[in-house]
Amino acid sequence: MSTSLNQHFTPWALLKFAFPSIIMMIFMSLYTIVDGIYISRFLGSNALSSLNIVFPVINVVIAIATMLGTGGNAIISKYLGEGKNQKARECLTSFTVIGLAVSILLLILTQVFLIPICRILGSTDILLADCQAYLSTSLMFAPACMLQTLFQSYLVTAGMPALGLFLTIGAGILNAVLDYVLILVFPMGITGAALATGIGQSVPAIAGLFFFLLSRKGLYFTRFRLHGKELLMACYNGSSEMVTQLSNAVITFLFNIILLDLAGENGVAAITILLYGQFLFNGFYLGFSIGISPIVGFQYGAQNRKQLRSIYKTSFLFVAASSVLMTLAAVATSTLLVSIFTHDPETFALADAGFRIFAINFLFSGINITSSGFFTALSNGRVSAIISFLRTLVFIVLSLLILPRFLGVTGAWLAIPVAEFLTLVLTLGMHQTYFRKPGERNYLL
């Protein structure tokens, strides 16, 4: 396994190594998107709004899993780079067991407090039944969601990105088929959509468990030992990625409340469609960050500065160029993308106009996401957390609280582009300090 990380990475080799993770994250994004398409087209805009109302709770599960996955990955790959293979295996085991335990606790708490949670998140009387049905069913699969997210990162570090890709594609296809069966053939409504997603998540979760249990090469499960220091460090390193997911929950909640006031249930359905577009486009860069993370962590642990410089240059040239292309593609295909989700005239008009404005954020988000992931891989959780916290919470909250007051619905569509631009300014300053300016803090010199 270490051989695949301990090699000279040409630009092509780096992109080839990251490619499975990119596709994997895109398919992960498609889980929710496919649900949204079936729900909106066959169950209506109110059902789509219900999904978005309760999605913040699911974000909490994903947030904790992402923290342990990306933050733990930095520690595991660093230990592998230092030749401490047994310690890397023990950390893998510890992080997985703890993540599984937390997901079970969240499952129990959600079932006990189901109705109050739906109400707090903004459910109206019209949406309450669908909110309860989707959230209750989805959280029954919280352990599968947790394990799937963890194994996205750990399979890459284990030198098996292709396996992770295969499992995710298979799970995505199963999810789409089950959406059709459980919504149209057996009319289970929004509960069927939640079941389809949960069963799909179970495939990579169970397969990943078997892989790490049965493998005896490179990374695999060993006897459980609680590594408290490493656990805290994983949480610290991965806090930026956790903040991103938790912030998604907060921002989704704020969008829902603001758009319910400005445009009613159709406004919530419209922002749901826009956020699905963001999942898909940003999933590309999240996958790229996950793909290069073990390489960066390994080379950092091995103190190979020359290789780190090459990886850094290749990574951000690729991200900058692709960001421009993806933004142009998003604007050009906005009407087509929105039409896939809905034919409701009011929802369509809101979402179509909004997506053209909203898509501007893709010019900036790729560099911001990759920068945060790069600092996480270098075990600099502080800088990574600062970027993520300001990007995904502070700047967006301020934009949402200020812009709609003066610009109405247009201000809501502009909130994320403005937040991403402000974050880019901050991120470029961090690059100057840690990657370009000579000094002790420079990782590349």
Q: Are 334 and 358 a contacting pair, CB within 8 Å?
A: no
Q: What is the mean pLDDT of residues 358-379?
A: 89
Q: Is the confidence at residue 239, as pLDDT, over 90?
A: no
Half-sphere exposure of 206 (CA within 13 A, CB side): 9
Q: Is 347 helix (H, G, I), strand (E, B) or coil?
A: helix
Question: Per-residue pLDDT for 431 more than 70?
Answer: yes
Residue type, 219: L
- Cα separation, 273 vs 45, whole angstroms: 10
Of the spans 67-76, 208-217, 426-435, which averages the highest pLDDT?
Answer: 426-435
Q: How large is the average pLDDT for residues 333-361?
A: 86
In the prediction, which pLDDT does 170 show?
Answer: 85
pLDDT value at residue 5: 60
Say which residue, 114 or 228, is predicted with more confidence.
114
Residue type, 299: Q
- pTM to 2 decimals? 0.72
Structure tokens at 64: 């904790």
Choose the weakest-confidence range: 12-16, 94-98, 357-361.
12-16
Examine the pLDDT at 141 and tell me if it is beyond 70: yes
Confidence of residue 263 (pLDDT cuts 50, 70, 90): confident
Q: Of 365, 387, 364, 366, which Cα lies nearest the Cα of 434? A: 387
Within 13 Å of residue 47, how many CA atoms lie on the same side as its CB?
A: 23
- Highest average pLDDT, of 6-10, 62-66, 213-217, comes from 62-66
| pLDDT, position 367 | 93
* Confidence band, pLDDT 50/70/90 cuts, at residue 4: low
Helix or strand (DSSP H, E) at 443: none
The more confident residue out of 162 and 96 is 96
Distance CA 325, CA 319 (A): 10
Task: Give CA–CA dist 101/390, Å, rounded.
Answer: 30
Q: Would you say 154 and 294 are in contact if contact means Cβ atoms under 8 Å apart?
A: no
Lowest mean per-residue pLDDT among 3-12, 163-172, 271-280, 402-411: 3-12
| Contacts with 211 (C-beta within 8 Å, 6 or more apart), sequence order | 151, 155, 158, 160, 163
Q: What is the DSSP string of 302-330?
A: TT-HHHHHHHHHHHHHHHHHHHHHHHHHH
> Positive or negative, the Cα torsion across 312, 27, 339, 131?
negative
Of 316 and 17, more confident: 316
Q: Which has the higher per-residue pLDDT, 354 or 264?
A: 354
Structure confidence by residue, pLDDT tens digits, 145-155: 999 989 888 88
The rounded distance, in Å, linking the Cα atoms of 354 and 416 is: 12
Share of the chain above pLDDT 70, in %: 97
Question: Is pLDDT larger for residue 32 or for residue 261?
Answer: 261
Paired tokens of 28: 């992960």
376 compared with 97, residue with greater pLDDT: 97
Q: Which two tokens stand for residue 115?
A: 């109705």
Q: In this predicted model, what pLDDT tens digit does every residue of 264-293 receive, in sequence order?
A: 878 888 888 888 888 788 888 888 888 888
Query: What pLDDT band is residue 360 in, cutting at 50, 70 and 90?
Result: very high
CA–CA gap between residue 370 and residue 63 (Å, rounded): 17
Evaluate if residue 441 carries a pLDDT over 90.
no
Task: Write down the pLDDT at residue 1.
Answer: 42
Is residue 240 a contact partner of residue 376, using CB atoms and an 8 Å limit?
yes
The pLDDT assigned to 3 comes to 43
**Taking a C-beta distance cutoff of 8 angstroms, is the pair 32, 179 a contact?**
no
Two tokens, residue 174: 């199963």
| 7: confidence class by pLDDT, cuts 50, 70, 90 | low
Once rounded to an integer, what is the mean pLDDT over residues 203-207?
Answer: 92
Rg (alpha carbons) of the chain, rounded to whole number: 21
**Among 22-26, 190-194, 198-202, 327-331, whose mean pLDDT is lowest?**
22-26
The mean pLDDT of 64-72, rounded to a whole number, is 86
Average pLDDT, the chain: 85
* pLDDT of 116 higher than 80: yes
Pinpoint the alpha helices (H) of 141-238. Answer: 142-157, 161-180, 190-214, 228-237
Tokens of 383: 């800088």
